[in-house]
Amino acid sequence: MQTIVRTERYGYGAVSTAAPVRPRPACADEDPELFFPIGNTGPALLQSEEAKAVCRLRCPLMESCLQGALDRNESGVWGGTDEGDRRRIKRRAARRRTVA
């Protein structure tokens, strides 16, 4: 949508008043419980894999979501990873730091 406005410098002109389109997280369309499996065996493992698939296959925010989860030590599935995946990512990063 455009609106005609008057600016001091350019006189009258059209400016866009449409809200910027923001990427929508894929989990917004899912049951939030899916991302918080209880336990890490049997059905909880399947649930975790299903949640990770939502992230990995459909979410445009995966990288920033993963970084946020790493920074905040979140529990549950975030950014296509579960807690175990994120622990491994952190261990690998720590090892790389000690080697470098």
* 3-state SS, residue 17: coil
How far apart, in Å, are the Cα atoms of 27 and each of 11, 35, 61, 70?
Answer: 45, 8, 10, 18
Q: Is residue 45 a contact partner of residue 7, using CB atoms and an 8 Å limit?
A: no
Q: Are 17 and 3 in contact (CB under 8 A)?
A: yes
Output 20 or 23, the one with its CB closest to ligand SF4: 23
Contact pick of 37, 47, 48, 59 for ligand SF4 (by CB under 6 A): 59
The answer to whether residue 70 forms part of the interface with ligand SF4 (CB under 6 A) is no
Evaluate whether 61 touches 97 at the Cβ level (below 8 Å): no
Least Å distance, CB 48 to ligand SF4, is 12
Does 74 sit near ligand SF4 (CB under 6 A)? no
Q: Which of 37, 79, 82, 86 binds ligand SF4 (CB under 6 A)?
A: 79
**Residues within the interface to ligand SF4 (CB under 6 A):** 25-27, 35, 54-55, 59, 61-62, 65, 78-80
